[in-house]
Amino acid sequence: MTSEGSNTTAITLRTPVKDDGFRLHQLVAECPPLDPNSIYCNLLQCSHFAETGVAAEKEGDLVGFISGYIPPQQPETVFVWQVAVHEKGRGQGLAKRMLKEIVGRDACKTVTHMETTITADNEASWALFRSFARDLGAELTYHEHFEKETHFGGQHDSEFLLRIGPFTKPV
């Protein structure tokens, strides 16, 4: 668990617990354009995948969350499923702090790469992951992975698979 102050109140980073599931569901709803998952899915993210997720709290409020997992066929990779930062947590580098928190965990001791998917127009996510790769001195590559028509039936923009690595653990 880490804590960092700003000119207001400190934000504490910690491993999620299942009691965060409903709060995560509410946080995502308050962070458009994030895609909502079912509450049950959020409960699994906060329990089954807790060691590769991070919750950020400020004054008792959940102001940030990253859900992720290590794909069974890729033990060297942590896949970041979703990054949510509430407006109360923005402008403080919180998302990048949460990414570093995850890759620094014991659960990620075999991890040398990070993957995520991002739509072409999600400038904030592209900036976050490019900055994270620069901080780690790691290569960033990407290609179209889930195509709008083929995989989403035209109902969601294409998603690009972004891969960062190899890297060593952040200090």
Q: What are the tens digits of pLDDT across the range 19-31? A: 999 999 999 999 9
Q: In what order do the strands lie in the sheet with 159-164?
A: 2-4, 11-14, 54-58, 61-69, 77-85, 113-119, 159-164, 140-146
Residue 152 lies in a domain: yes
Report how many domains make up the chain. Answer: 1
pLDDT at 170: 66
Is residue 3 domain-resident?
A: no
The reply to whether 62 falls in a domain is: yes
Q: Is residue 4 part of a domain?
A: no
CATH number of the domain encompassing residue 48: 3.40.630.30
The whole-number pLDDT of residue 38 equals 96
- Confidence class of residue 171 from pLDDT cuts 50, 70 and 90? low
- On average, the pLDDT of the chain sits at 92
Q: Is 131 part of a structural domain of the chain?
A: yes
42 lies in which domain range?
12-165
